Structure formats: structure tokens, C-alpha cells
Amino acid sequence: MMYISNTTMKEFTDPSEKPSTAEEFWLWFASESANLKAMDPAKMMQLLGFQVADFAKDVIFGVFTAEIDEVWTLEISAGGVEATISQVFSLTESAPNIPGWEFVAFKQAGGLNSIKFNGIDLDFSAIRAVLVRSDGPRQNVILYMPIPEDTPIEKCQELGFIALDHTIGEYNVMTKIGQIWYENIANAHEFSFPLTDLPNLWADDNLD
């Protein structure tokens, strides 16, 4: 199985007319579902983004691939942006039954345990975390990342969000996590815990 995301997709140009509603998108998807599986992964992700550019331009797609004759999963994500939640629901709630595909709203907890991203191999269990209480209803968190110390903060943020999204679920990250700070693993606090333990702590603290 492989996971592909169009988080950093470039603009895709295609002479065909784009769908202008979720219903039109799913009609197009149904007609192209077999072709999408046979397509170059990067091109497939760009094409999906292009097809929703007029009515759900801020959604991010992820695909869990398998053998072509098996079921693939299309993940429809808000990219961590709360304002995009309604676009995600609009697409997923109107999704038809298309053989060979299943559709999920938001990045799911447990969907991914590690990632290779821009030359960095990151196992989520190697990340350590500390929860920091806030005055409001959300939890703040510090992530101690096992990545090179000179990694730009933008890359730390993207890796951190991917790890959190697939550990406790993107919807929880958007609605129940406040601030996130990033530190190198060398600075991990003595009371830090593996990020993969967070779902248990989350449940114990009645946050989900």
C-alpha cells in the first residue's frame, strides 16, 4: 500500500471542462475511476485537485493505493483549515457507491504510521510529545521531532500536522488542538511520551 497526497500540487491544466458542483465531480470520478488507478500518481493527484478547483478549491486529496483490482481509499481533507470543513462534508456526503473505491472525510487516526517527505523518513512513534494546558477548551502540544536540526520550520509544521492528523484524526486536530510548538528530539522533556500514545491520553482526558 502507498499513500499519496496533493498537499504540494502544482496547477494542473487540462482542456476538458471542469465540474462545477460536487454531483458533477462524482459523475466525472465514476467515469474515470479505472483510469485514475492506472495513472501516474502525481498526475492523478493534480487532476483530482483540478477537477474541484471551481467549487471546493481548498480541499486536499490523499489516496491509499493497493493493487489495481483491489479497493483504493480516497481521503478528502480540509488541509488543517477549519473554514474548509464544510467543503469536505459537501464532497463526502454526496459520494456515490463506486466499485473499487471508498471515500473518507478527513485524515483518519491510524491511517498512516510513518511518512517519507522531502528526503526525511519519519516514523510517528519516534516523535515525542507533551500536552500543555490552556485557558480555553483546546489542548496545546509540543512535538519533539527526530529530524535534522536545520530543518526549516515550514517543513517541521507540515510533518507535524501529518503525524498528528494520522494519530488522533484531522478533525480532532482542527477543532481540539490549539497551539503546536516544534522542538528537536534532542530537547525532549523528561515527561514527554511517544506521539503514538496520544490517542490513549486523549481518551483518558475526555477530549474526543
143 and 97 share one domain: no
What is the per-residue pLDDT for 140?
94
User: Shortest CA distance to 74 belongs to which of 115, 51, 55, 83?
Assistant: 51
Looking at the structure, do residues 101 and 161 belong to the same domain, yes or no? no
d(CA 94, CA 103): 10
Domain assignment of residue 137, given as a range: 114-204
- How far apart are alpha carbons 45 and 6 in whole angstroms? 5
Same domain? 13 vs 101: yes
**Residues 88, 179 within the same domain:** no
Q: Domain check: are 137 and 167 in the same one?
A: yes
pLDDT value, residue 1: 57
DSSP string, 100-159: TEEEEESPPTTS-SEEEETTEEEEGGG-EEEEE--SSSSEEEEEEE-S-TT--HHHHHHH
From the centroid of its chain, how far is CA 162?
6
Backbone dihedral region for residue 207 (phi beyond 0: left; psi -120 to 50: alpha; all else: beta): alpha
Residues 88 and 155 in one domain: no
Kindly state the percentage of the chain with pLDDT values over 90.
66
Same domain, 63 and 126: no
Report the distance separating Cα 202 and Cα 208, nearest Å: 7
Task: Report pLDDT for 203.
Answer: 57
Q: Which of 105, 139, 174 is the last residue of a domain?
A: 105
- Beta-strand pair 177-184/193-194: unpaired
> For the segment 44-76, what is each residue's pLDDT rounded down to a tens digit?
888 999 999 999 989 999 898 888 889 999 999
For residues 127 and 200, state if they share a domain.
yes
- Is the domain of 198 the same as that of 132? yes
Please check whether residues 21 and 57 belong to one and the same domain: yes
Task: Residue 145: name the closest of 161, 170, 128 by CA.
Answer: 128
Q: pLDDT confidence of 27, banded at 50, 70, 90?
A: very high
Question: What number is the average pLDDT over the span 33-44?
Answer: 90
pLDDT of 42: 81
Are 98 and 119 contained in the same domain? no
Nearest CA-CA partner of 151 in 141, 162, 142, 160: 160
pLDDT band at residue 103 using 50, 70 and 90 as cut-offs? very high
100 lies in the same domain as 24:
yes
Reported confidence tier of residue 119, pLDDT bands at 50, 70, 90: confident
Domain tally for the chain?
2
> How many C-beta atoms lie closer than 10 Å to residue 147's C-beta?
19
Give pLDDT tens digits for 159-203: 999 999 999 999 999 999 999 999 999 999 999 999 999 988 865
Q: Are strands 114-117 and 120-123 parallel, antiparallel or unpaired?
A: antiparallel
Count Cα neighbours of 176 within 13 Å in the Cβ-side half-sphere. Answer: 16
Q: Does the pLDDT value for residue 208 go beyond 60?
A: no
